[in-house]
A = this chain, B = another copy of it.
């Protein structure tokens, strides 16, 4: 959730390759074109930093204002959620998603209807708070050649891995997911080399 005082940067770079504090457990292609393998991942705030040598891929995203969340939901989320970087959050997931052109051509009320009234995207995520912490990064408006529309980063304790599996399973079965045309599921374990 974005506060009124902006953070140092809204841009984040995710680098998959041979180095980084996160060990890649697996990279599963859920829909569309797969991504190349990587054994480690590092998240770099901003875009100025030089990506480490031996990088397999680089994804960029920017945090932004909410597009669907209404006041009541925002207040409930803020009161329940916890931040990234908790000492117990030894597991993470990076889920890049692209939605079909037909999704983006819908009007705002049509997208909100599918997102929440039909799919309960916010309500389902709320059930897993504060265990599953999350930061959404937008890519679609960074440029017109970005490979994904969103990168969502999740952090949770090892004991919540099954809960996370359940969360993504429920969302993927929702009507909103009929509009997803590419999705990669990257699971990570925090493990300093």
* A4 partner residues in chain B, CB cutoff 8 A: 101-102, 105
Nearest Cβ in chain B — how far from A102, in angstroms?
6
Give Cα distance in the complex from A75 to B68, angstroms.
21
Let me know if B107 and A66 touch, CB within 8 A. yes
Let me know if A68 and B140 touch, CB within 8 A. no
Say yes or no: A71-B107 contact (C-beta < 8 A), given A4-B102, A101-B4, A102-B4. yes
Give Cα distance in the complex from A142 to B144, angstroms.
10
* Interface residues in A92-108 (C-beta closer than 8 Å to B): 101-102, 104-108
* Interface residues in A1-54 (C-beta closer than 8 Å to B): 2-6, 9-11, 46-47
- A: contact size bracket: 35 or more
- Scoring A67, A138, A141, A142 by chain B CB atoms within 10 A of each residue's CB, the highest score goes to A141
In the assembly, how many copies of this chain are there?
2
Let me know if A141 and B64 touch, CB within 8 A. yes
* A64 partner residues in chain B, CB cutoff 8 A: 104, 140-141
* A66 partner residues in chain B, CB cutoff 8 A: 107-108
Any chain B CB within 8 A of the CB of A73?
A: yes
| Leading 9 A-B pairs by shortest Cβ distance | A70-B109, A141-B141, A71-B107, A74-B107, A65-B104, A10-B144, A4-B105, A11-B144, A64-B141
- Please name 10 further chain A to chain B contacts, defined as beta carbons within 8 Å, in addition to the given A6-B101, A70-B107, sorted by A numbering: A4-B102, A10-B144, A46-B144, A62-B141, A65-B105, A70-B109, A108-B112, A141-B141, A141-B142, A142-B143
